[in-house]
Structure 1
Amino acid sequence: MKKLVVTALSVVMSVGLLAGCGTNEDSGNATPGNSGGASNGGKAQEIKITVRENTWGARKDNFIEAEKRLNEELKADNVQVKIDWWPGIGDDELILQAQAGKVADIFINSSVDIGWQRDAGLIRDIDWVQTSNVFKSVPESYTNIMKYEGHYYGAIQDMDASPVFISRKALEGLGWTGEQISGLKARVDTGDFTFGDLVNLADEAKKKSLVKMGFAVEDTRFEGWNYAFGNYNYNAEQNKMVLTAKTEDVYGFWSDAVKRGVIAEGIGDVDTDKAAPMFVKGEIFAEFARTEFYQMLREANGMKDDIEGFNNWFNENVVWIPVPSANKGGKPVSYSNPAMIYVGPTVDDAKMTYVQKLIEHVLDPDLQVNHTVISGKLPVTPEAQEDARFKAMEFYKDHAYLIEFTRTRPAQPDYAIYTKSYTLGVDAILTKGQSAEQAFELFKKDAKQNVPADHLIVE
């Protein structure tokens, strides 16, 4: 999972990088007089596009295939695009290289990184996204993800949601019938089944030794638990973090869950890589993770290439639901941390024509599903969700509706500082036995000290 690097931000602030500074060595920018692909003495005009390598899932493979497809399209114009692969690097090094004028034309990073990357001069606007045929049918939530302060800065590359994976065997051990289990998701959707009900089930399953662990979660920041309690910590209109007393309600859940043994002190050490084999063995009642956990379960089962066999296992052993609301009658919640394709500031408008076409081919429906099959992420366009391979994977097909209400981590540059303050409170509950009230006071003090006052709303 991509995290915002605070040290990188401090480098930006101290150096004062401006958008578009420096030059991109050998960037191959198309010149206005030659942007239309005019014949160059019979030899095709070469447009070099530098791309930072990202090999996770099918990302690099999709760029390679997109390059081939684009060049077929450009043959009539006597133009050839050539990808120049640059090594993938971390956020700190991205900024250090930018200081030396070395900024790639295209790279992939998290949606949460828009704000600081823009402020650091690492990316430029790509307002062509608004009129691109690729994105004409995507939900409004996707559109919002790609925008920041009035402009598009990223093209969404893949997506997920955050369902709760529950042990069907444990529910059966608690006496639930097949009909009750099958109807659980609908109860969550209507607000009849609440977060408190889920905590109670986990507590009962653990006390009856049906599982070893009540809840496991991908990390202790887990936004889904905040959202379940109505704690939305970001105001997009003002681009500010929000400190609200509702955080104490979330800490109250943490404190209660620890006391009841639903959550163990070392929960932060059980990441999804560790949790997947534990879940397969029936040791976890409920795993709070993202879409890709389905893929991790497949691999933990040794069924990476056996989709049909894994679907049968999944249906017999797992039931999934959205994160339930803490309030009766409330709406379920979900969060995501989608990847974005970004464009460097040295790409001029003439070259952008080819950069846009390359990115659009990366998002060809079949290539998106190639990435889904390997990575476990959701495709981002309705056209891709019509692919037969996508429809054959029931979990993906059935839970895609979560995207309608899935929220994303904010692109506000102080998000990392804010969440560090938040997790101080969580850690105080987990490791020091502090109360929800004590944790909230610690969080408030730290957030007010470290988040700039003009970037923080205190309710």
Structure 2
Amino acid sequence: MKKFAGVALTMVMGLGVLAGCGSNGNSASTTSEGASASDKPEAKVVTISVRENTWGARKDNFLEAEKRLNEELAPDNVQVKLDWWPGIDDDELVLQAQAGKVADIFINSSVDIGWERDAGLIRDIDWVKDSKVFKNVPASYTNIMSYDGHYYGAIQDMDASPVFISRKALEGLGWTKEQIDGLRARVDSGDFTFHDLVNLADEAKKKSLVKIGFAVEDTRFEGWNYAFDFNNYDAEQNKLELTQKAKDVYAFWADAKKRGVIAENIGDVDTDMAAPMFVKGEIFAEFARTEFYQMMREANGMKDKVDEYNNWFNDNVVWIPVPSAQKGGKPVSYSNPAMIFVGAKVDDEKMTYVQRLIEHVLDPDLQINHTIASGKLPVTPEAQEDPRFKEMSFYKDHAYLVEFTKTRPALPDYATFTKGYTMGVEAILTKGKSAEEAFDIFEKEVKQNVPADRVEIQK
């Protein structure tokens, strides 16, 4: 998933009063004092600077939100104007903040809350707690948007992490249509495990039904960690968590590498490369996110042929949540959702307009506009009631995954923590290290580079 550049805001207010004041609204008449009836105070202009992000329908939604907000503000003689700033990367965001140029609104990843706050880029937006927009969202969304006792982001879009499996490969293994169509229910009930999936991929590859067993977005894939009950993060204490469970994940990597289910270059097969490979039937299981559904549509040459693509999808693909490694366990899902952040220089007076603008960006129909353009899921149940969403069977059917989807914690040290974990994976893939040796590399990296008060290391 691509990183999202930020967005900023600066406010310019103008308030002017023309000579005279009208009384009856007739532009041709004057009052008894001789002043034109059409004379009235100029509208107060509130300029909000937004860092441009054109992915999906993001910019279009801001433009429509601006229009809708101004219709509401017209009786108050107030007009909001958006001032578009260029989208930039995180390093530039920090440099500009140090120079005093902080944007009012921008979009970035949920994991960025911690460092953005510490760098003085964003301010709290505790209005999220009572906003009607978020009153019906899952509790997990509330956790995503808050950090260290305050809300700092408004979730903008969402995805989950289904596993896309080649239906043709399963058929080649002798599976019936009823068995394939019933697979998801078996995962949900805990009857079908992660190990069962590994065994199927191994068998499909040995029978030359596919070229690759597993493909995944990157070797940090937290969804696999959660499947083995290695959760990385203690939410109650707001600390990273390194437990012996990590060895179970490394044991899977070592076994899958030895059996050929996972190739040494697995980290090089990103989703852009994997989409056409999966379409050609070369991959047994693709661990991706919601948007992979749309990426396959484009790889199929069916970007504007939705019905034709859905027929192809139903004939060639079956999807499931990431299965638990334990029999009877619950499936897992992982996401890296986008957040709308508010710049640190926005004062409480201006926040009134910023809040209302953001809430309109999240109007249900605008969320679905973004879903159609981006392949992401909407974030509120109200948006899922949109008729267009209900017509998109894949999105509608897998929306339940967001109820248990986990996300990366916002702790600034998480990137360092994950780097240590990835070093262990790479040691298995490229150096033939064991699960125990990989764990030792991970633990050493964490002890050396993550502050002791930010992590629990359990023996």
Q: Shorter-chain-normalised TM-score: which range?
A: over 0.9
Closer, same or farther: CA 160–3 of 1 in aligned 2, 3 Å: same
Which amino acid is the alignment partner of residue 215 of structure 2? A
- 2:33 paired with 1:28: no
Secondary structure (helix, strand or coil) at the match of 1:201 reads helix
Alignment of structure 1 residues 152-191 onto 2, 5 Å? 152-191=151-190
8 Å Cα contact 1:29/1:351 also seen in 2: no
Alignment of structure 1 residues 111-126 onto 2, 5 Å? 111-126=110-125
**Partner residue, 2:220:** 221
**Partner residue, 1:18:** none
Alignment of structure 1 residues 362-441 onto 2, 5 Å? 362-441=361-440
Secondary structure (helix, strand or coil) at the match of 1:345 reads coil
Separation in 2 of the partners of 1:120 and 1:236? 22
Separation in 2 of the partners of 1:25 and 1:267? 41
Cα offset for 1:42? 2.7
**Partner residue, 1:9:** none
Separation in 2 of the partners of 1:437 and 1:147? 36
- 2:339 paired with 1:355: no
What whole-Å deviation, never above 9, does each CA across 1:204-263 have from its counterpart, x for those lacking one?
000000000000000000001100000001112222111111111101000100110000
**Partner residue, 1:237:** 236
8 Å Cα contact 1:30/1:351 also seen in 2: no
Secondary structure (helix, strand or coil) at the match of 2:344 reads coil
Separation in 2 of the partners of 1:414 and 1:238? 15
**Partner residue, 1:309:** 308
Which amino acid is the alignment partner of residue 348 of structure 1? D
Cα offset for 1:2? 5.0
**Partner residue, 1:449:** 448
Alignment of structure 1 residues 256-271 onto 2, 5 Å? 256-271=255-270
Alignment of structure 1 residues 193-212 onto 2, 5 Å? 193-212=192-211
Separation in 1 of the partners of 2:40 and 2:91? 44
**Partner residue, 2:109:** 110
Separation in 1 of the partners of 2:154 and 2:39? 32
Separation in 2 of the partners of 1:299 and 1:40? 56
**Partner residue, 1:51:** 50
Which amino acid is the alignment partner of residue 346 of structure 1? K
Cα offset for 1:131? 1.0
**Partner residue, 2:30:** none
Cα offset for 1:458? 0.5
Which amino acid is the alignment partner of residue 157 of structure 1? Q
Cα offset for 1:40? 10
Which amino acid is the alignment partner of residue 102 of structure 1? K
Secondary structure (helix, strand or coil) at the match of 1:85 reads strand
8 Å Cα contact 2:14/2:44 also seen in 1: no
**Partner residue, 1:19:** none
Query: What stretches of structure 1 of length at least 5 have no aligned partner?
Result: 6-23, 32-38
What whole-Å deviation, never above 9, does each CA across 1:147-199 have from its counterpart, x for those lacking one?
11111110000001100000000000000000000110000001000000000
Closer, same or farther: CA 3–443 of 1 in aligned 2, 3 Å: farther
Alignment of structure 1 residues 67-82 onto 2, 5 Å? 67-82=66-81
Closer, same or farther: CA 445–72 of 1 in aligned 2, 3 Å: same
Greater alpha carbon shift after TM alignment, 257-266 vs 142-151: 142-151
8 Å Cα contact 1:29/1:348 also seen in 2: no
8 Å Cα contact 1:29/1:350 also seen in 2: no
Secondary structure (helix, strand or coil) at the match of 2:79 reads strand
**Partner residue, 2:95:** 96
Alignment coverage as a number of residue pairs: 434
What whole-Å deviation, never above 9, does each CA across 1:275-314 have from its counterpart, x for those lacking one?
0000000000000011111110111111111221111111
Cα offset for 1:27? 2.9
Closer, same or farther: CA 414–25 of 1 in aligned 2, 3 Å: closer
8 Å Cα contact 1:25/1:101 also seen in 2: no
Secondary structure (helix, strand or coil) at the match of 1:265 reads coil
Q: State the Cα RMSD in Å.
A: 1.7
Cα offset for 1:28? 2.2
Separation in 2 of the partners of 1:204 and 1:104? 53
Separation in 2 of the partners of 1:40 and 1:154? 42
8 Å Cα contact 2:225/2:249 also seen in 1: yes
What whole-Å deviation, never above 9, does each CA across 1:41-66 have from its counterpart, x for those lacking one?
53211100000111111101110111
Which amino acid is the alignment partner of residue 272 of structure 1? T
TM-score by length of structure 2 reads 0.92
Secondary structure (helix, strand or coil) at the match of 1:416 reads helix
8 Å Cα contact 1:224/1:333 also seen in 2: yes
Separation in 2 of the partners of 1:25 and 1:266? 42
Cα offset for 1:383? 1.0
**Partner residue, 2:330:** 331
TM-score by length of structure 1 reads 0.92
- 2:83 paired with 1:62: no
Secondary structure (helix, strand or coil) at the match of 2:265 reads helix
8 Å Cα contact 1:2/1:109 also seen in 2: no
Secondary structure (helix, strand or coil) at the match of 1:214 reads strand
Secondary structure (helix, strand or coil) at the match of 1:319 reads strand
